[in-house]
Amino acid sequence: MHGSFSIFLHLIGFGFLCTGLLGGWIVERRIRKESDWGIKLTMLKASRALGLLTPVAAVIMLFTGIWNILNLYPTEPSLWLTQGWLVAKVILFAFLLVNGALFGPIISRKRAALIRTLHEGNASDEAEQTVRIFSKNLTTFYLVQTLLLLVILSLSVFGGGMTPGAS
């Protein structure tokens, strides 16, 4: 029962993470197609709500992942280090968190500041080109995050075959 509840919460966190990632990518694509700087700025403000969903998902997944490891190896928790798939999954999740906490927000903030200056009319001649470069960087960011999430999911599904709470 304990394991089943932690897996359920872990799946909820995964759903939040997928929602934030897919929703962010969809809004990003829409922002790139829009030509009016004011509408782009409004969409950027609206997309912040999706950006706030991913840290919540990360915290849920981090705590329930630890809980699942403790349920998987109740007598000797350090045994999880012998499971290569689980170690790889934890390392990739850490990379996903660092990438998501650093690169995405930094690029988004810089692009939002440039779009704000373009909307106000105070931008330099290269600002539009720089916004396009930041947009391409964000597309690459979403691609990397998606690939990491798919590899983590594959390791979860095809990993060790042990499920906490299953007898």
Could you read off the pLDDT of 18-53 as tens digits, one per residue?
998 998 899 989 998 988 888 988 888 888 877 888
* Residue at 125 is within a domain: yes
Domain hosting 124: range is: 2-158
* Residue at 167 is within a domain: no
* Residue at 105 is within a domain: yes
Stretch 2-18: mean pLDDT: 86
**Which is nearest to 15 in space by CA: 57, 65, 59, 62?**
57
pLDDT tier at 3, thresholds 50, 70, 90: low
* Residue at 103 is within a domain: yes
* Residue at 164 is within a domain: no
Q: Are 69 and 161 in contact (CB under 8 A)?
A: no
CA distance 120 to 115: 9
* Residue at 163 is within a domain: no
> How would you label 86-124 residue by residue, b for 16+ Cβ within 10 Å and e otherwise?
beebbebbeebbeebeebbeebbeebbebbeebbeeebe
* Residue at 148 is within a domain: yes
User: Does 167 have pLDDT greater than 50?
Assistant: no
Overall pTM > 0.75: yes
User: Per the structure, how many domains does the chain have?
Assistant: 1
CA distance 6 to 64: 6
* Residue at 142 is within a domain: yes
